[in-house]
Structure 1
Amino acid sequence: MANQKQTQPLLQKLQAVIQALKRCGQQNPDIDQSPPYIRILEEVKDNFKDVGYYTEDFNKRNAIAKKQVNIYLIRKIRTKGSSIRSKLTILQNSIANYARLIESLSIVRNQQNNQYEEASEENKDGNIQPRQVQYYNDGSQQQHEKKLQNKIDEFEVKLQMFLKQQSMQDESDYQQKEYAQKLSLIEKGDIKSSRRIQHNNSSQERGPNDKDNLNKNKQNYNNGKLSDLNVNKAFSDEPRSPLRFNKGQEYCLEAHCLLYGHGIEPNTEVAMVWYERSANLGEPRAIDSLGKLYEDGVGTRIDLNKAVQHFQRAAELGDPSSQYKLAKYYQRGGIFHLNEGKPDGQKSFELLQSAAQENQKEALRELGFIYEKGGLIEGQNPGKFILLVDIDIKKALDYYQKSAKYGDELAMNYLGSYYFNHSQDYDKAVQFFRQASESGKCERALNNLAICFEQGIGDAVQDYYQALKLYEQSAILGYDQALINQAFLYYKVALSGHNLGDMDSSELYFQCAQCLRKALFKDENNCDAIFLLAKLYEEGLSIDQNPQLAYKYYEKAANLGFPKAYTKLGHLYYSGMIQADNQDLVTPFYMTKAHINKLKSMEYYQKASDLGDTDASNCLGLIYESGLDTCLQADIEIAERNYYLALKQNKQNLDAMFNLGLLLFNGNHNDPSKSKLGITYIQQAADQGDLRAKEFQMISQMQTVTQNFVQNLIRLNPQINQNDSILNDEEINLRIN
């Protein structure tokens, strides 16, 4: 690494060169006025200033690096140190040429002095006429000036060619493979890994011969001798390695550094200029990057048409990233010069296949989705699902695994979802969710992992604190469903009556309401948030009870197609919390307000039942089973149909199961098989934990035991009349109830 000990001799050498050039110019006024001589002198002075500046700057930065302030400054210092070493190498080789120039100038001057002395002696002796001396002096002066000028021009050409060749050599120090890795690391912001690859490059960028030559140059310089090895190499006809960067790649790398602030201050406008230069040379990565800038509006206004044009051009050159982006535009549609703005799922599928052949991770993931579902969604808001291939789960998993292998976190999340929902391998599901969540950037994986911690699934031990933390991280990344899940978790814990750390039920309900308001601020039509907030207003949990606001939110959720909201509206009318207007129903004069409210509730229950809500069907069954006084006669058949419908909509609806069993058991019919079927439904409900079914079983058993006791007592004492029994059936039922 360059330091003061190494640069001090060079500074002294340059100072000596400057003094020598000045003396030479003073002794020879003609040379002193020569433009090439002045240019060379100024160049040496500039080099002297540069070495001093870079040395001072490097020492300051190196001191900061030793304190290890941060990784970014150390990286910048190393980059600056590398540029200083390159500068010193060039200067070391240039000094040899300066020394030869001074030697040439001294030789010329000595020759001129000798000629002037001879001419002066001849003048004194009078052997030669003054006119002839003047002629001889003029011719000699012109001849030597011409030789000197040629020498200076030759040296200047050599120096320029050497500097140009040296610059080209320095710019093409990376290989093609390492170039791709470098760009990828810059895009990811992986500074640590980038430094490691840069270190590897620095050890591989010179061949063994170049390394030996460099050592020889250093040795010769320390001995006061400078070789012409690098100067000669500059004029060699050795072809450049095909593995080195071409100009387009160099410009693209420079643009990446400027865009992402890699070792240099970020500058988007200048980055775009370098991207344009690289794109003009046909570099696909630069064309793709320009398209991304136009797509995101970075450094320019958003222009999707220009973005797609760049993606098309890069895709034609075989860039897989552009092929994937172009595939998504074909899938969504909306760009006029792409199939006249119409979506084209088949073209999108073909581009995804082409990108996947180059192991483009997003394309691999999308192909996995296509083979899992059998097609893709074409268009947007709303899209239309089109079939493209036969469903092949094995092939879909292969694509997901390949994509996950290349680091696609969403593919890892898809694998976790598959193992969670289909194969019920919860340990594997949690494993993939964890892998996808490691970077903290995959919002879906964070949400799914939170669900595992909330429910205690797989090797994720139930931990509400961890679940809330993960939900919050997912919500910060913009996944709105995580806010809803967080709100429901607060609600669930508060409803159980337990505290969560320092938060009691009131605080938990308050946090639930806060999450719901945040979700509605982002999306005012989020049905889950609207429904739960309406429930808080209905029950007065942490906020003042307000049936009118509850009705408003339930109605909004219902209009958005949320079936459960219709059921809750029916509850509000049935309970009388909301009163039906007289204009709502055409009713006979003898109907009370309560009857009108219940009839109004039946309308909402029927809407919810038609939309598949099992609770609404069960409520209709209860109303038809009992009737509404004179307003609605009981209808056992309709009630039975609604109970069956509720069970069909949800086999785990224990209320409907018990109500159907009780209806069949107590029904006015002469079919004993229905009574047995009713007992079967009640038994199933009891087995699944329904408290009413268990109570019914207990009462039935007590009645059976009592009846058996009375019958045995009568059998043992025939004189006892059955009507004179200790307790008749009515009294038994009264006591039990």
Structure 2
Amino acid sequence: MKIAVYIILMMNFSLLHAGLFDSAVEAYNNEDLKKAYQLWEKSANDGNAIAMYNLGVMDFNIQGISSALDLPAQWFEKSSKQGFSLAYVELGLLYETGMGVDKDHKKAFEMFSIAAEENQPLGQNKLGEYYENINIEKSILWYEKSAKQGNIASANSLGLIYENLEQWEKAVFWYKKAVAHDLESLLPAKKKNFLNDGKTLNNLRGAGWWVDTSIDEALLTAQFNLARFYDHTQSEYNNREKARYWYEKSALQGYDVAQYNLAYLYTTDDGGAQDYKKAKYWYEKSAKQNNYSAMYNLAYLYSNGFGMPRNAIEAINWYKKVRGDSQFLSYEKIAIIYYEGSGIKQSNKNALFWFLKSAEKGLLYSQIYAADLYQDKNLDTFSYEHSFYWFLKAAKRDNAYAQNRLAMMIYYGKGVDENREEAKKWFEKAVENGSKEAIENIKKYYN
């Protein structure tokens, strides 16, 4: 998991530097970045490793005296040489991404290894990541060392590993370890600027906490994975009620996929808690974070009046926003709303417009509807040639209805030259694919 860089505001330094460091902390909190940088620089020149680290972070975030990309690495290296293990982690991240230094995975691994050997949980987590695809035993070893120090991300990774190995009991054990942290009790600690013991914030960072965000990605991801496990596992641990509980924990922290999955559970009878109003609530939350699947399902609720009065306009608005895999299926849904006149004025013209958008992307039923609508003589788009084009597209995909209609057009020479032998071939294909109408047409035209 990517670990964000942040300012450590701790008092792990000699009394000689305490006043200077305190002043730097105060200046930083007052957003006087220039003064904070100057004070930490003085403290760093006196050998303070934490000050060196903070300068690296400020330069990384372009809060220092220069935007030079190599400055963070210089400060982190100085801090690491003073024995501050977290600086090795940051150096490793820089080498891993090539930010301010030449990208060098071997060097990154070396930095993470030093941090891990010094019992730094983030370094141990990164080693777990590095080994995951090449040596699962070593990956588990380092993840466990990190997780036992409270690292949420490592515990979550162990849960995933054991789930993939179908070792369900161990998977549940580590997922539960990951979600055991109480968000509300830790938030106050996250907001503190520095602590007298010089360790607590470092440990929070090691546990996967960010002091500069209200949502902790490591925790909400673990909550989601535990929920997903309860939701989809084929083992005795399958439990939709528990899945809803943990989806909601993650959803309340703003995770859009958890919000979507929670909404989906509320649309089904699984677990005996079907509730379309709650489904709408969570789909809407997720959709507003640009979750396209949530947009699609929210539109579906509006178009069918589930949990609310039917509202075709809202349905169309949400369908139009969908992108990704469901974009053109959404266009087909818009077309059907206009075609059926479901809560909106019926319009074959609008229906054809949207069917064509999805037909052009290969949606079979849109191709068939488009072919049919091109034969609507009330539209200025009437065209046997275009109708034939789309029926042929669908017929080549073994759709019996399209094959029978295509055969009729060929038989009568509509949109194509008349050819009764060719028509018979398509009637026969339609029969092979189950068309009773094609059977009757063969009897009618060829016997």
- Tell whether the structures are fold-level matches, with TM greater than 0.5: yes
Q: CA deviation at 1:317?
A: 3.3
Residue identity opposite 2:260 in structure 1:
I
Whether the 8 Å contact between 2:292 and 2:326 is mirrored in structure 1 is: no
SS at match of 1:576: helix
Other-structure match for 1:87:
none
Q: Give per-residue Cα distances to partners, 1:124-169, cap 9 Å, x unaligned.
A: xxxxxxxxxxxxxxxxxxxxxxxxxxxxxxxxxxxxxxxxxxxxxx
Compared CA separation, residues 301 and 346, structure 1 to 2 (3 A)? same
Number of matched residues?
353
Other-structure match for 2:33:
none
Other-structure match for 2:356:
603
For 2:175 and 2:146, how far apart are their aligned partners in 1?
A: 15
Q: Report which of the two has the higher share of helix.
A: 1
Residue identity opposite 1:603 in structure 2:
L
Residue identity opposite 1:363 in structure 2:
G
Whether the 8 Å contact between 1:372 and 1:393 is mirrored in structure 2 is: yes
Q: Is residue 269 of structure 1 aligned with residue 14 of structure 2?
A: no
Whether the 8 Å contact between 2:303 and 2:315 is mirrored in structure 1 is: yes
Q: Is residue 563 of structure 1 aligned with residue 325 of structure 2?
A: yes
For 2:18 and 2:81, how far apart are their aligned partners in 1?
A: 24
Q: Give per-residue Cα distances to partners, 1:16-46, cap 9 Å, x unaligned.
A: xxxxxxxxxxxxxxxxxxxxxxxxxxxxxxx
Other-structure match for 2:276:
509
Other-structure match for 2:264:
488
Other-structure match for 2:166:
424
For 1:545 and 1:286, how far apart are their aligned partners in 2?
A: 61
Other-structure match for 1:368:
128
Q: Give per-residue Cα distances to partners, 1:472-528, cap 9 Å, x unaligned.
A: 3223445332222222222334xx7x963xxxx6xx32222322343455x3x3323
Tell me which structure has the larger Cα radius of gyration.
1
Other-structure match for 2:285:
518
Compared CA separation, residues 478 and 276, structure 1 to 2 (3 A)? farther
Other-structure match for 1:472:
248
Q: Is residue 538 of structure 1 aligned with residue 303 of structure 2?
A: yes
For 2:124 and 2:48, how far apart are their aligned partners in 1?
A: 24
Q: CA deviation at 1:453?
A: 3.0
Q: Pairwise mapping of residues 655-666 of structure 1 onto structure 2 (< 5 A)?
A: none
Compared CA separation, residues 557 and 598, structure 1 to 2 (3 A)? closer
**Aligned equivalent of 1:462, options 225, 239, 260:** 239
**Aligned equivalent of 2:158, options 402, 415, 435:** 415
Q: CA deviation at 1:324?
A: 1.0
Q: Pairwise mapping of residues 397-408 of structure 1 onto structure 2 (< 5 A)?
A: 397-408=140-151
Q: Give per-residue Cα distances to partners, 1:253-302, cap 9 Å, x unaligned.
A: 979xx98xxxxxxx9539989987874543435543665688799xx999
**Aligned equivalent of 2:220, options 439, 443, 447:** 443
Q: CA deviation at 1:427?
A: 3.2
Q: CA deviation at 1:593?
A: 5.9
Q: CA deviation at 1:444?
A: 0.9
Q: Is residue 322 of structure 1 aligned with residue 68 of structure 2?
A: no
SS at match of 2:239: coil
RMSD: 5.2
Q: CA deviation at 1:410?
A: 0.8
Residue identity opposite 1:451 in structure 2:
R
Q: CA deviation at 1:530?
A: 2.4
Q: CA deviation at 1:437?
A: 1.1
Compared CA separation, residues 284 and 533, structure 1 to 2 (3 A)? same
Whether the 8 Å contact between 1:447 and 1:471 is mirrored in structure 2 is: yes
Q: CA deviation at 1:451?
A: 2.0
Q: CA deviation at 1:445?
A: 1.0
Compared CA separation, residues 286 and 301, structure 1 to 2 (3 A)? closer
Q: Pairwise mapping of residues 583-732 of structure 1 onto structure 2 (< 5 A)?
A: 594=348, 596=349, 599-606=352-359, 608-609=361-362, 616=363, 618-619=364-365, 630=384, 632-633=387-388, 638-639=393-394, 641-642=396-397
Whether the 8 Å contact between 2:59 and 2:65 is mirrored in structure 1 is: yes
Q: Give per-residue Cα distances to partners, 1:584-603, cap 9 Å, x unaligned.
A: xxxxxxxx963x55643443
Compared CA separation, residues 287 and 635, structure 1 to 2 (3 A)? closer
Residue identity opposite 2:225 in structure 1:
N
Whether the 8 Å contact between 1:628 and 1:634 is mirrored in structure 2 is: no
Other-structure match for 2:334:
572
For 2:306 and 2:355, how far apart are their aligned partners in 1?
A: 27
Residue identity opposite 2:153 in structure 1:
L
Whether the 8 Å contact between 1:296 and 1:302 is mirrored in structure 2 is: no
Q: CA deviation at 1:571?
A: 2.7
Q: Normalising by structure 1, what TM-score?
A: 0.39
Whether the 8 Å contact between 1:326 and 1:348 is mirrored in structure 2 is: yes
Whether the 8 Å contact between 2:143 and 2:155 is mirrored in structure 1 is: yes
Q: CA deviation at 1:328?
A: 2.4
SS at match of 1:444: helix
Q: CA deviation at 1:362?
A: 1.9
SS at match of 1:642: coil
For 2:317 and 2:140, how far apart are their aligned partners in 1?
A: 46
Residue identity opposite 1:356 in structure 2:
A
Whether the 8 Å contact between 1:520 and 1:529 is mirrored in structure 2 is: yes
| Structure 1 spans left out of the alignment, 5+ residues | 1-186, 190-246, 260-266, 374-390, 580-591, 610-615, 644-655, 680-695, 697-729, 731-737
Whether the 8 Å contact between 1:451 and 1:467 is mirrored in structure 2 is: yes
Q: CA deviation at 1:330?
A: 4.3
Whether the 8 Å contact between 2:175 and 2:225 is mirrored in structure 1 is: yes
Q: Give per-residue Cα distances to partners, 1:312-336, cap 9 Å, x unaligned.
A: 32124343211212332444566xx
Q: CA deviation at 1:570?
A: 1.3
SS at match of 1:542: coil
SS at match of 2:397: helix
Q: CA deviation at 1:413?
A: 1.1
Q: Give per-residue Cα distances to partners, 1:648-685, cap 9 Å, x unaligned.
A: xxxxxxxx9x999x9xxxx9769x99999x79xxxxxx
For 1:444 and 1:529, how far apart are their aligned partners in 2?
A: 18
Q: Give per-residue Cα distances to partners, 1:573-626, cap 9 Å, x unaligned.
A: 1452599xxxxxxxxxxxx963x55643443334554xxxxxx3x535766998
For 2:424 and 2:65, how far apart are their aligned partners in 1?
A: 74
Q: Pairwise mapping of residues 56-455 of structure 1 onto structure 2 (< 5 A)?
A: 249-251=13-15, 268-269=25-26, 279-285=44-50, 287-288=52-53, 310-332=75-97, 338-339=100-101, 347-372=107-132, 391-420=134-163, 422-440=164-182, 442-455=219-232
Q: CA deviation at 1:345?
A: 5.3
Q: Is residue 550 of structure 1 aligned with residue 321 of structure 2?
A: no
For 2:119 and 2:401, how far apart are their aligned partners in 1?
A: 58
For 1:322 and 1:478, how far apart are their aligned partners in 2?
A: 31
Residue identity opposite 1:448 in structure 2:
N
For 1:675 and 1:578, how far apart are their aligned partners in 2?
A: 29
Compared CA separation, residues 510 and 659, structure 1 to 2 (3 A)? same
Whether the 8 Å contact between 1:248 and 1:281 is mirrored in structure 2 is: no
